[in-house]
Chain A
Amino acid sequence: MPDSPMPDNPMPDNPMPETPFFEVVVVGAGPAGSCAATVLARRGVSVLLIERGPFPGSKNMYGGVVYPRILDSLHPEWWEEMPIQRWVTRRSTMVLTENQAVTIDFRSQNWGVPPYNGATAYRPDMDHWLASKAEAAGARLLTSTTVTGLITDARGQVCGVRTDRPDGDVACRMVIACDGVNSFVAKEAGLYPDLNPANFTLGVKETLGLSRSVIEERFAVRDREGVDIEILGGTQGVNGGGFIYTNLDTLAVGVVLKLPALAAQKTRPEEIIAHLKSHPGIAPLVEGGEILEYSAHLIPEAGRSMMPQLTGEGLLVAGDAAAMCLAAGIWLEGVNFAMASGMAAAETAAEAITAGDVSKRGLAGYEKRLNSSFVLADHDKLSRIPGLVLSDRVQHQYPQMIANVVERVFRVDNPQPKPGLRKIFAEERKRAGVRLRDLARDGWTGMRGFG
């Protein structure tokens, strides 16, 4: 039921009387779109949520951790209903070389009880649930329908969308584009500057079937507890990283690869996953897993530097469509940023419709909202981190240096006496070809970002 019904609207009626009309059309029923539609519907705005797949989530490729605390206000006690696989209670960061692995492992049982922290989830389940909430709030969900273009009036103001259905135009007062990475809607509206392939990574994932008991034994978890392993190295020299996430009876194992590096290397992504799975530190974890699914997806990883204009004339862009995925080394988040930006877009849209001004100026509150929330605050703060994480030094030189240092620290070379840590570090730094000034510069960049 609407929380606060819309007052009489000063805006004109349907600009295209022969076509169906909604006040807002949301393109894409992912986390951003469904949260936006829920907020709008609860505010009494008529909203059409258009999804190209046969059901929300059917077109997703995802293997990761969702951090849903942003839903506290939208769906209180969401953890009672949300279809998750495992609550992440253990986080590991691995640094791999060809035959070494350094792991920092953290476990907290506090993350296994409400309100929880992060969870692994199947997006077809999660997106379906989020969209059902939007429908329950009064949004109209239209599936198996692809938005093929925007309709604008003589002033250039978006006033509808064109779909691939027969007689498929829909009139509206404004559009919220949540159509994911490589957003055709945002690009058509001219909101994206020149796209640079270096801003994208290719996420490639295998879903491996293993029994629940085997997963719990190998990863040392019980019940619905789960593990998130982020990996630096192990990508055959292609800049990027790897990951392993535990679901109930499957593992998501994959790599994230910087596009230009992948193209230059001329290596197939599936070969890189196979190589990762054969690493001595990974193989015992994934052994015997049956490949149930193989998929790939572009990820907008450059953060703030690649974001499009977020506001157009009668148009807002949210979620991955606005490149809001945060890929900042130890923090790899996207769904929470998508949900928050979708909610902010919806609140702005509802206000703009009430005020009768959905022009770019009337929608300016969207960016202000994002700036005052974690969405752009985190992106601004961590704006240099994606570049640092994907740099050649962090990708190739530091992992070898760290692994060698750790190996020598724990190696017992009797009858030689134990060397000092400072000596080991200096020798290994030189052996890895790391210059002190580069190390200091990267350390400073990291401190400014993470500090």
Chain B
Amino acid sequence: MIRILVCQKWVAPEGDSRGASHSPADRAALELALHIRDRAEDQTEVIVVSLGGPGALHGLRDSLARGADRALWISGPTDLRSDAVAAAIHSAVSTHLVEIGVPDWVICGDYSADRGSGSVPAFLAAFWDAEQALGLVQVTEHSASSLGAVRRLDGGRRELLSVSSPAVLSVEGSVATLRRATLARELAAATMEISEATAPLGPRETPVEVTAYRPRARMLAAPAGQTALERVRSITDTATAAAHGETVALTPDEAAERILTALRDWGYL
């Protein structure tokens, strides 16, 4: 039996349940799990887990309606620090879903609808001593026990990963579009059983004061030039005709190779 744990956070803006939702990333996480299950040759189970107040039950029922097999609600405050959230999930799964042991896959959204730090998946990987592949923008291939993924890096670069279970993944919303629930499943989800656990008290997130970005001051040499105009020209570079491109004359094949080389150098490929 392959077991996939999907961790989601149900967020109600300003306490109004009418606008409550999972983030697109959380929805993509569930769809990825369902997709792996649907393609798996071995028996596979998708379990959704959510920590929060009673409102989280709505989110879990929504995930059950869309195809998750089981759900676990961890009752607790929504402002726990990421390590405490991960500890609560690890503890609840270990206690209430003993048969799971270490999940084959733990899939999370890269961010929740209230835009937290996105660090829960890393803590989960630490607790389960599993591999981690975080911030995935694409899952290119998969089997029940291994998958290839693309991760976004700084500077427009990409990283290709090959991940084997057990592992913790966090995905962006672009990875998959969550399926709609069938009508029968939507109706049935209202009465489906949801396991319950209670989160132990843990440290809370401390609000961080957000201020406008101010770059750090840097020491610069005074511009060269005898007159003010020359100094301004030297700063603004207006007097030079710097070439910002490269002109080459190549055959089509050579040109294609040159473009590919440049793209590799720049980190796009």
Residues of A within 8 A of B (CB): 19-20, 54-55, 58, 124, 128, 140, 142, 145, 163, 165-170
Contact = CB atoms under 8 A, between A and B. Distances in A.
A165 B183 contact: yes
Interface in B173-190: 179-184, 186-187, 190
Contacts of A170: 183
The prevalent SS among residues of A at the interface is loop
12 contacts: A54-B18, A58-B18, A140-B187, A142-B183, A145-B183, A165-B180, A165-B182, A166-B182, A167-B182, A168-B183, A169-B183, A170-B183
Contacts of B190: 140
B179 to A, nearest CB: 8
List 9 tightest A-B contacts by C-beta distance, closest first: A167-B182, A165-B183, A55-B18, A166-B182, A168-B183, A20-B184, A20-B187, A167-B183, A165-B180
B184 A167 contact: yes
B181 A165 contact: yes
Contacts of A166: 179-183
Contact of A142 (B179, B180, B186): B186
Interface residues of B, number: 10
A92 B190 CA distance: 48
Contacts of B18: 54-55, 58, 124, 128
Nearest to B17: A55
Interface of B: 18, 179-184, 186-187, 190
Contacts of B183: 20, 142, 145, 163, 165-170
A200 B109 CA distance: 47
Contact of B186 (A54, A55, A58, A165): A165
A128 B18 CA distance: 9
Given A20-B187, A165-B186, 9 more contacts: A20-B183, A20-B184, A55-B18, A140-B187, A140-B190, A142-B186, A163-B183, A165-B182, A167-B182
Listed residue (A19, A142, A165) with the most chain B CB atoms within 10 angstroms of its CB:
A165
Contacts of B181: 165-166
Contacts of B184: 19-20, 167
A142 B182 contact: no
B208 to A, nearest CB: 30
Contacts of A165: 180-183, 186
A58 B187 CA distance: 21
A128 B180 CA distance: 23
A128 B184 CA distance: 23
Contacts of A142: 183, 186-187
A68 B78 CA distance: 39
Nearest to A50: B183
A339 B183 CA distance: 27
A134 to B, nearest CB: 14
A37 B165 CA distance: 49
Contacts of B182: 165-168
B197 to A, nearest CB: 27
B224 to A, nearest CB: 53
Nearest to A167: B182
B213 to A, nearest CB: 28
Contacts of B179: 166
Contacts of A19: 184
B267 to A, nearest CB: 41
Contacts of A128: 18
Contacts of A145: 183, 186
A124 B18 CA distance: 9
B196 to A, nearest CB: 22
A106 B190 CA distance: 50
Nearest to B62: A144
A55 B190 CA distance: 16
A20 B65 CA distance: 15
A55 B20 CA distance: 11
B180 to A, nearest CB: 6
